[in-house]
């Protein structure tokens, strides 16, 4: 897999030349394999410029993924699809700053084991205006807490194929003022 820290470190001189990237998409990123030095060396140039981060099938612990996300100090919008959760033995240092999280949140393919991530995300000072949830099979309580957290800012909510003991919902668009 080319997204391993050792492989990306070889490419980091080339990656560091990209100083104006505002959207970053990473597929199959094994976040749990990156230590803090790896993250800074490989992704550090993106931390202050990326406003939209798309993660497709990341592998991490819930806490490790939150730590990774919070390095992106300018991030407004976040998309996470089909995460694979692993145990991470290393303790993660507390996050020093929190991204604005004022844009869009897209969650897809989350399963029951995603509850710790949703709980951690809902503890952050998030202000998403747009949330889309697709094909998630989880308990409604942690997601309800997340929605409560953004009740002051949320303008659009779309939920599709939420299966945990509920009928699939085609689309919900509350009129929030």
Q: Which residues sit opposite 156 in a β-bridge?
A: 130
How do residues 39-51 score in pLDDT, each as one tens digit? 888 898 999 999 9
pTM: 0.84
pLDDT of 95 reads 62
The answer to whether 51 touches 26, Cβ cutoff 8 Å, is no
Q: Are 107 and 83 in contact (CB under 8 A)?
A: no
Q: Mind listing the pLDDT tens digit for each residue in 118-168?
A: 999 999 999 999 999 999 988 888 999 999 999 999 999 999 866 555 544
Q: Which of 161, 163, 162, 160 is nearest to 171 (CA)?
A: 160
Q: Which residue has the higher pLDDT, 9 or 104?
A: 104
Domain residue limits, the chain:
5-16+23-86+93-160
CATH classification (class only), 5-16+23-86+93-160: alpha beta
């Amino acid at each position: 897999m080319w997204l391993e820290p050792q492989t990306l470190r070889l490419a980091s001189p080339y990656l560091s030349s990209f100083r104006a990237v505002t959207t970053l998409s990473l597929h199959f990123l094994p976040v749990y394999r990156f230590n803090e030095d790896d993250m800074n060396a490989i992704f550090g140039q993106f931390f202050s410029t990326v406003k939209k981060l798309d993660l497709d099938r990341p592998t991490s612990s819930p806490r490790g993924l939150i730590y990774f996300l919070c390095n992106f100090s300018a991030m407004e919008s976040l998309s996470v699809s089909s995460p694979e959760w692993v145990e991470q033995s290393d303790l993660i240092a507390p996050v020093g700053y929190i991204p604005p999280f004022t844009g869009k949140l897209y969650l897809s393919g989350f399963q029951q084991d995603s509850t710790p991530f949703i709980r951690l995300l809902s503890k952050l000072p998030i202000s998403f205006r747009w949330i889309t949830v697709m094909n998630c099979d989880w308990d409604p309580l942690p997601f309800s807490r997340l929605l409560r957290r953004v009740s002051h800012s949320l303008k659009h909510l779309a939920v599709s194929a939420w299966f945990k003991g509920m009928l699939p919902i085609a689309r919900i668009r509350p009129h929030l003022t």
